[in-house]
Structure 1
Amino acid sequence: MADSPPHGRPSPREGLRGTSATGEPAGSPGESAGTGPTGRAAPAARRGRPDALHPGAWWLWALALGTAATRTTNPLLLGLLIAVSAYVVAARRPDAPWARSYGVFVKLALAVLLVRLVFATVLGSPIPGARVIVALPEVPLPDWAQGIRLGGKVTAEALTFALYDGLRLAALLVCVGAANSLANPSRLLKSLPGALYETGVAVVVALTFAPHLIADVQRLRAARRLRGRPDRGFRGLAQVALPVLEGALERSVALAAAMDARGYGRTAQVPPAVRRTTAALTLGGLLGVCAGTYGLLSAAGAGYGVPLLLCGLAAALAGLWLGGRRSLRTRYRPDRWDARAWLVAASGAAVAAVTALAAVRDPAALHPGVVPLVAPTLPLWPAAAVLLGLLPAFIAPAPQAPAPHKDSREEPS
């Protein structure tokens, strides 16, 4: 009885044993598998996190699905891509605040689709059509506004073309939203190359401080309401903005002092020739990527687009590798790119490759005509390739359930 701690207050030994160095419970899969009786992590536990997929694999999978969406205007294929991404998100989305952004991207995609239809209705469309749905009053415009009209006849062909075009952009936004919901942003930034370390730190700080600003605004508005002062309008915003900025400045100064005390910003000494080579490779690689992307998007640059893009990527990666020699940091338990990450990325790449090949072999199936207006058909082998995007829902590790919170006020049984 003399060694038992008071109710609601764990002993120091229990406090050290209850949580890990990363704040996770002691029984979590990321910590308990490799810990010994002394509390130190075994070498196997430091090699990576077996309970989570590499965040870069999620982004490659999602971007590949988005690339496939840009290669077609078939509403059936686009709807299938959206359904595949939604199923994977529903099956593998973790229970975290950053994972709730998928619904925001879906709403943004619906808004983009609606705006595209409204523009086609009000501002007209260059697509000719014979099936008039409604005739709006047309506003006469001056001569310098030739090619633009307000109102006029709204045809079924023009609305169908706007629907196909808006649905393609909506599918791309949904795929990006899937990547935001599945990939941990902090872990993704920690996986950046050493040359991008400072950029990653800046983004992490921004992502950390943004919720604090919102919480400060809500707290100050609630305090003003309790005191009977206005919290809306320009006057209320002006009186709330100054305390919020003051608190943000204090946090920034405290963070700068803490980072300086821990040695952030140190760089290794490298020869001047290495620095010049790094800058030349990085700048030349980025220019090559831009020129190669332009060649792929334009009809005249189909011959030089792919080689220039590959050369630009190789030069940029070499520049990032050389730039990483200036970084002195080490990583604790870095994310491993294992076989599951390769399979997830390969499934998305297969969807993009087959869709791009189908757009060349059978463009009529992936781009249904609107003049004359025909019903779209579902091409079988591109649709089967899109279903390969469901592979992460079965091979990716399942999200870990949050640890139940135990109330310290409960009496022990």
Structure 2
Amino acid sequence: MAPPDRGPAGADRAVPRAPGEPRYLRPSRRPTAARTRHRTVVHPGAWWLWSLSLGTAATRTTNPLLLALLISASAYVVATHRGATPASHAYTAFARLALAVLLVRLLFAVALGSPVPGTHVLLALPEVPLPHWAQGIRLGGKVTAEALVFAAYDGLKLATLLICVGAANALAGPTRLLKSLPGALYETGVAVVVALTFAPHLVADVQRLRAARRLRGRPDRGLRGLLQVALPVLEGALERSVALAAAMEARGYGRTAEVPARVRRTTAALTLGGLLGVCAGTYGLLTAEGGAYGVPLLLAGVVAALAGLRLGGRRSLRTRYRPDPWDARAWLVAGSGAAVAALLTLASARDPEALHPGVVPLVAPALPLWPAAAVLLALVPAFAVPPASAPEEPS
């Protein structure tokens, strides 16, 4: 058989062959669609850092205009960059949960009252007398506009945080994030991912069975429909659990490599000391007296914890199939979110009145210009990352 033609002219041409021999084609040097898509994939950790940074920024303000900007920025990035995966619909679910949290916060303000004084009384509910040991708590009474506005600001902050977490799930599901975890956290990550994916699979089973019952003309609502759907759902969950356990055992889940005792002790010391340093540094940043030692202690704790996790990864016997690269796009995505969190934290320290509008007296909130411009940095991934960077995941 003649050797394949390696010249440039015959790169994509059939190789001459003798009569009766099979035909061989020179493999093309052009990257396939899967490889091209993989090279444009943004690391899932970058998306999670971006989303959690936006959530951190949301905790630094109660200004509804800034919170609305954060929600709009996350919604635009999710709309343009989420893939066709089961986890991509998490944003809608988290948005509904955020709306429910906001309504519950308003309901509590109406039913249980608010410590915020107000003069604009909207309605007066019958007040239930409580014993003396329940002082500070009331049921019913006057509902003021100031109390409702304060509750709306507070509930909107928590709702924005939930929406940012939903954006992280929609852009990079927990399954993609699992294979990027350090080896020392692999087993913990598997347990967390299994726990997080149990509820979506359960909801999907319920919807599938209810649709099947409707097609057969059988009732799918009420107590009778619930009882007839519950058994197949539990049976499917049990079968999925058995299949998952068999797959994990076949892949060698839980096996560990032998490492020297000195390495194990060093790993434990670095990890424990690093976590203690992170806790002490965070406490220092949150208190006025610990501002001098908070940042150095936090950085030292993070470095020690990362070193401990890297050493602990030697015990994990696993490989990664086509790992997601951490490239310039990942740095840009994570950096844009970190910039938003840092700038809003700085703004909350320098101009707290603009980021926390008062409700007594009741005035309309104003939009601070440079904090609003800082929030717009969250849109950087929408223009710097191609939409194809959200690959399809197995369900």
Shorter-chain TM-score: which interval?
Answer: 0.7 to 0.9
Q: 1:143 to 1:196 in 2, by over 3 A?
A: same
The corresponding residue for 2:156 is: 167
Question: Does the CA-based 8 Å contact 2:336-2:377 persist in structure 1?
Answer: yes
Aligned to 1:156: 145
Q: Structure 2 vs 1, CA of residues 164 and 51 (structure 1 numbering), >3 Å: closer, same or farther?
A: same
Alignment check: 8 A CA contact 2:37 2:389 kept: no
Q: Which of 185, 190, 194 is the matching residue for 1:196?
A: 185
Q: 1:402 to 1:174 in 2, by over 3 A?
A: closer
Q: Which residue of 1 aligns with 2:372?
A: 383
Do the aligned partners of residues 65 and 246 (structure 1) sit closer, same or farther apart at CA in structure 2, a change above 3 Å counting? closer
1:229-248 matched pairs, under 5 angstroms: 244-248=233-237
Paired with 1:74 and 1:195, the residues of 2 have a C-alpha distance of 40
User: How far apart, in 2, do the equivalents of 1:378 and 1:141 lie?
Assistant: 42
Runs (5+) with no aligned partner, structure 1: 1-35, 404-413
Instruction: Decide whether the 8 Å contact of 2:277 with 2:297 is kept in 1.
Output: yes
**Distance between the aligned counterparts of 1:139 and 1:385, measured in 2?**
47
DSSP-derived class of the 1:266 partner = coil
C-alpha distance 48-326 of structure 1, shift in aligned 2 (>3 A): farther
CA-to-partner distance for each residue in 1:128-182, whole Å, 9 max, x for gaps? 1222222222111110110011111222222221111111111111111111111
What is residue 314 of structure 2 aligned with on the other side? Answer: 325
Equivalent residue for 2:102, pick from 103, 108, 113: 113
Structure 2 residue aligned with 1:96? 85
Task: Measure the CA separation in 1 of the matches of 2:104 and 2:126.
Answer: 20
Q: 2:281 aligns with which of 284, 292, 296?
A: 292
Deviates more, 1:321-330 or 1:222-231: 222-231
Q: Does 1:182 align with 2:180?
A: no
| 1:369 equivalent in alignment to 2:358 | yes
Alpha-carbon spacing, 1:152–1:94, altered in 2? closer, same or farther (3 Å) = same
1:263 aligns with 2:252: yes
* Contact map agreement 1:49 1:334 (CA 8 A) in 2: no
Alignment map for 1:12-411 (pairs within 5 Å):
37=26, 49-205=38-194, 213-214=202-203, 244-399=233-388
CA distance in 2, matches of 1:211, 1:162: 31
Percent of counterpart pairs with the same letter? 78
For residue 337 of structure 1, what is the amino acid of its counterpart?
W
The letter for the 2-side match of 1:84 is A
Q: Which is worse superposed, 162-171 or 193-202?
A: 193-202
| TM-score, length of structure 2 as denominator length | 0.81
Contact 1:296-1:306 within 8 A present in 2 as well? yes
Q: Deviations over 1:264-285 (max 9, x none)?
A: 3322110112212222322332
| Structure 2 CA distance for partners of 1:366 and 1:209, relative to 1, 3 Å | closer
The secondary structure found in structure 1 opposite 2:96 is helix
Q: Mean alpha-carbon deviation: is it higher for 227-236 or for 278-287?
A: 227-236
- Give the aligned residue type for 1:376: P
The answer for unaligned runs of 5 or more in structure 2 is 1-24
Q: Is the 8 A contact 1:48 1:333 kept in 2?
A: no
TM-score w.r.t. the length of structure 1 is 0.78
SS of the residue 2:254 aligns to? coil
More deviation in 138-147 or 46-55?
46-55
CA displacement at 1:299 relative to structure 2: 4.8
**Residues of 2 paired with 1:197 and 1:260: CA distance?**
15
